[in-house]
Amino acid sequence: MLLALLLCYLGFTALCLSTDRHHGELLHSKPSPKRRLVLRLGGWLLLIVSIWPAVRVIGWSQGLVEWCAVLMCSALLLVLLLPYRPRLALILAGVSLLASPVAAFAAL
């Protein structure tokens, strides 16, 4: 479930960075139309791919339920961090990006 959590957090962070407001707060610039499109597509792709580790471990019936829980937890974490610790939210996204291959390798 760790891999699903990391992928969900990365996906939500990418979707968050695709907006002008959050991109400006975190990266101090406005996203170009191409970057906005890449962040949106990447965010949705990461959220879709995050279903795979949850379903692979437990099965479709319980895996989807746990994936929904992981989805809500990662979104809640990001929503709570953005107003108070926006830099920490960005740092956690970087850590998630680096830890995802390790978690994928450990899940095999």
Q: Say if 108 falls within a structural domain.
A: no
Residue 38 belongs to some domain of the structure: yes
DSSP state of 15: H
Residue 52 lies in a domain: yes
pLDDT digit string (tens) for the chain, length 108 residues: 899 999 999 999 999 999 999 998 889 899 999 999 999 999 999 999 999 998 998 889 999 999 999 999 999 999 999 999 999 999 999 999 999 999 999 877
User: How many domains does the structure of the chain reveal?
Assistant: 1
106, part of any domain:
no
Q: Which H/E stretch holds residue 40?
A: helix 33-49
Instruction: Report if residue 60 sits inside a domain.
Output: yes
Q: Where in the sequence is the domain holding 50, given as residue range(s)?
A: 2-101
What predicted TM-score, i.e. pTM, was given to this entire model?
Answer: 0.93
- Is residue 8 in a domain? yes
